[in-house]
Amino acid sequence: MMAETVTIAGHGGDRIAAYFARPLGPGPYPAVVVVHHMPGWDEATKGITLRFASRGYAAICPHLHYREGGGSSPDDAAAAVRARGGVPDERFLGDAAGAIDYLRSLPYCSGKVGAIGYCSGGRQVFLAACSLPLDAAVDCYGGFVAESPPEGMPLRMAPVIDRAADLRCPLLGLFGAEDSHPAPAETRRTAEILEQHRKAFEFHTFPGAGHGFFATDRPSYRVEAANQGWQRVFDWFGRHLASA
Amino acid sequence: MCSHAIEKTSVTGSGKGTKGWFSLSTACVCFDHPYFTPLERTLNIDFIDEASGPEARVAVELSPDSARALMRSIQLALEAG
């Protein structure tokens, strides 16, 4: 496999950086867009991108904070985004669409493309799954999908559950029972609405895990939940991104 | 809480970052995920100059208890002066 930083066309045709990893064979390979968490385009998320490549996927992680700090460290770029109230949803969707187009243009890509996101990226993946041509999606503990944000929060974090009727692909949700954003009550509410719309989805809530249980570089890491979660992820993508 | 919910306040003063001293324009304060500190949430303060780009930043991530202690220390120092 190999990995490199590439440039892709994002929202509005903006050129943004993306971390890209793939197996070295001729393919065809399914592909995955990895949506980084709020702390930014960091080493941990690049490691997740590598993990997908090692399992036979072409994987790309667009730098969603590139415009604010493409030449800076990920934490400085994330802080600049935070100071401006976060990434606007429409800009994220444009960047994600650019990443999907990039993957589908590759001669060794099977054409099947999924997306996975963590933390704020989980909410963004839900949004992408309702708006973009994806074949499967995974939301890892994305908050404010169904829950209205507390008073005073930026409008950019508005809930996205009102788009549930437009969900275009099977959705896997992986959550922690001890998480407060999203709390189990919120994920149950999301599940109820998806059921009302007869959407294909599976939600799993892991006991003893809170927010960020996949993050191996943080104290929130929970090895049992993370290992089971990874099995769920690869099973999900294995089923829904397999070539016909 | 993945929220990007921040309190911003204009400040007058200077900070020392990776490239030396610079004038500050703003302090951004939030209680959210840290980048480096091994806690789920920290009180994060970025002292920045927005006009000078993302690297014009002095950052701290504090546990809730130490943030409250810092508030008291700042208040006491100002009153003593």
- pLDDT tens for B5-18 read 789 999 999 999 98
Distance from the Cα of A73 to chain B's closest Cα (Å) equals 8
**Residue A149 confidence (pLDDT):** 75
Mean pLDDT (chain A) is 95
Distance from the Cα of A194 to chain B's closest Cα (Å) equals 23
Q: B28, B6 in Cβ contact below 8 A?
A: yes
**Residue B24 confidence (pLDDT):** 98
CA distance A36 to A40: 6
* Beta partners for residue B26, in sequence order: B10, B48
Give kind and range of the element (H or E) at residue A75: helix A74-83
List the one residue out of A145, A94, A137, A103 whose CA is nearest residue A239.
Answer: A137
Given pLDDT bands bounded at 50, 70 and 90, which one contains residue B2? low
Mean pLDDT (chain B) is 93
Q: Which of A37, A63, A65, A211 is catalytic?
A: A211
Interchain CB contact of B29 with A (< 8 Å):
no
Cβ-defined contact of B39 to A219 (cutoff 8 Å): yes
**Residue B3 confidence (pLDDT):** 62
For A165, the token pair is 């009727």
Q: Which of A61, A109, A119, A140 is catalytic?
A: A119
**Residue B19 confidence (pLDDT):** 87
Residue among A38, A86, A211 whose CB faces B40 most closely: A211
What's the half-sphere exposure (Cβ side, CA atoms, 13 Å) at A143? 24
List the one residue out of A179, A170, A181 whose CA is nearest residue A203.
Answer: A170
A179 is annotated as an active-site residue: yes
Give kind and range of the element (H or E) at residue B21: strand B20-32
Distance from the Cα of A47 to chain B's closest Cα (Å) equals 16
CA distance A93 to A87: 10
Low-confidence ranges of chain A (pLDDT < 50): none
B28 contacts on A by Cβ (under 8 Å)? 79, 82-83
- Residue numbers of the domain that contains A68: 2-240
Which one-letter DSSP state was computed for residue A36?
P
Least confident of A98-102, B1-5, B31-35: B1-5
Residue among A37, A86, A212 whose CB faces B40 most closely: A212
**Residue A170 confidence (pLDDT):** 98
Which residues contact residue A109 at a Cβ distance below 8 angstroms, ignoring those fewer than 6 apart? A27, A28, A29, A30, A31, A58, A103
| Total count of domains within chain A | 1
- Residue numbers of the domain that contains B53: 7-80
- Polymer length in residues for chain A: 244
List the one residue out of A160, A151, A164, A157 whose CA is nearest residue A193.
Answer: A164
Q: Is the pLDDT reported for residue B1 higher than 60? A: no
Amino acid symbol at A71: G
CA of A83: which chain B residue's CA is closest?
B28
Q: Give me the CATH number covering residue A194.
A: 3.40.50.1820
Interchain CB contact of B32 with A (< 8 Å):
yes
Q: What is the ipTM of this complex?
A: 0.87
Which residues contact residue B79 at a Cβ distance below 8 angstroms, ignoring those fewer than 6 apart? none
Interchain CB contact of B39 with A (< 8 Å):
yes
Q: Is the pLDDT reported for residue B67 higher than 70? A: yes
DSSP class per residue in A106-135:
STTEEEEEEEEEETHHHHHHHHHHTTS--S
Tell whether B2 is covered by a domain: no
A119 is annotated as an active-site residue: yes
